[in-house]
Amino acid sequence: MRVLVVEDHVETAEYVTSSLQAQGHLVDHCSNGREGFLSALDNQYDVMIFDRMLPGLDGLTLVKSVRGAGVETPILILSAMDGIDDRVQGLEAGSDDYLVKPFSFQELSARLAALTRRPPLRVEETVLQVADLEMNLIRRTVMRRGVALDLQPREFSLLEYLMRNAGRVLTRTMLLESVWDFHFDPKTNVVETHISRLRNKIDKPFDTDLIHTIRGAGYSLHG
């Protein structure tokens, strides 16, 4: 299996990395939280091991950031912090297991094997594409014909909903409920305003419109 080890303590990192490699596993090592975060996003791992006390980005924040980016790879936290509250915090942050230092590699190996035997989680889409429009949900980027488009958070959410429902007619009420979480009509033109802003960024610079008004019904996004 392929393992990501994020550990700043040199001896511990070497011990874990070399022991895993001796078992035939592929191991990537990062010595700080920020490098670990980027590596977790850019690569596919079977399991990840995070130290809790890391420079750059501490272990709990790293777990939360990875989970927030949509990465569901099993995570085991290694830490010298052995209190019950410490373990609970680690699990509540989004990790799958918590092993206290000092530890035996035999136990670490058994825990990793148990994590990788768990049934895989439902795979979520990370990239949406409609015609020549592409949205990366992890990196929060939108491109059309290779051109990066700068969207505000609400514009991004609106476009995501349109793309997830490409080809369907979406009413104003559906958009208010799904994008703004309004379960009533606010009596404003917030939908129309944001659709207009999206059109200026998604359609206006190009020769083909993707956002279409369906008179008397709503909006639809399609090529």
Fold assignment, 2-117: Rossmann fold (3.40.50)
Under a CB-based contact definition with an 8 Å cutoff, are residues 49 and 98 in contact? no
Q: Supply the pTM of this predicted model.
A: 0.55
pLDDT at residue number 185: 77
Fold assignment, 127-221: Arc Repressor Mutant, subunit A (1.10.10)
Q: Which residue ranges in the chain fall short of pLDDT 70?
A: 119-125
Which residue's structure tokens are 């429902």? Answer: 165
4 DSSP β-pair partners: 28, 48
pLDDT at residue number 38: 94
pLDDT at residue number 192: 95
The Cα-based distances of 213 to 73, 167, 209 in angstroms read 40, 12, 11
pLDDT tens by residue, 52-95: 999 989 999 999 999 998 888 999 999 999 888 989 999 999 99
Which residue's structure tokens are 């996003």? Answer: 41
pLDDT at residue number 125: 66
Phi, psi of 178, rounded to the nearest 5 degrees: -85, -35
Provide the residue ranges of all domains of the chain, joining segments of one domain with +: 2-117, 127-221
Tokens of 174: 């559906």
128-145 in b/e form (b: 16+ CB < 10 A) is bebeebbbebeeeebebe
Tokens of 14: 């070497």
